[in-house]
Amino acid sequence: MDIFIYISILAVFLLGALILRANFVAFRGQNISDYEGLGPEIDLRRHLDGPLICEGVIFGPTGRVASRFTAAMRGEWEGDRGVLHEDFSYDSGARQSRAWHLELQGDRFIARADDVEGEGKGQVGGPAVRLSYRIVLPKDAGGHRLDVVDWMYLSENGTIINRSQFTKYGFLVAELVATIRKEEE
């Protein structure tokens, strides 16, 4: 009987440690305030303006590369409102287009796109941007609704490094890592 109590206590301890790690130490444990006061400061109107090139990979739930892509992007701004056009080309030959409609509100912003349910909520702090939203995948990709958290980090040379996690029912189902940089005109 005593061994059952010890195993139960150990199981509860391990489960608690995993929950703490997932919510406070890992990707979800980041907070935009962690980056306040650090540089270089990201300005979406400046860093997501004009022609941009994006290159990245998507990892599936097992951690293996599921897809590679490039995207031609173009940002256009009028004051605090902008549109970021994205044209993706995947290694499978598939193509996808999206237009993000961004509305800046101080250090926060709202993001809308045709394949996003409702509106995304974003915040800027120092060199970092956090955006959360629910995306609806195309029918040929299963039509799933996934919760997404994007973190973007501005590097010293102006390149933006994007890391996104996609979850369903709280379980990680995909991760994206990409770079975004100004296209040479």
Please report the pLDDT score of residue 26 as a whole number: 53
pLDDT of residue 75: 98
Amino acid 25: pLDDT: 45
Q: Per-block average pLDDT, block size 10, for the chain (185 residues)?
A: 71 62 59 89 96 97 96 98 98 95 97 97 97 92 91 96 95 96 85
pLDDT for residue 145: 95
CATH architecture label of 32-182:
Beta Barrel (2.40)
SS3 track for the chain? CHHHHHHHHHHHHHHHHHHHHHHHHCHHHCCHHHHCCCCCCCCHHHHCCEEEEEEEEEECCCCCEEEEEEEEEEEEEECCEEEEEEEEEECCCCEEEEEEEEEEECCEEEEECCCEEEEEEEEEECCEEEEEEEEECCHHHCCCEEEEEEEEEECCCCCEEEEEEEEECCEEEEEEEEEEEECCC
Amino acid 27: pLDDT? 62
The pLDDT value recorded for residue 184 is 79
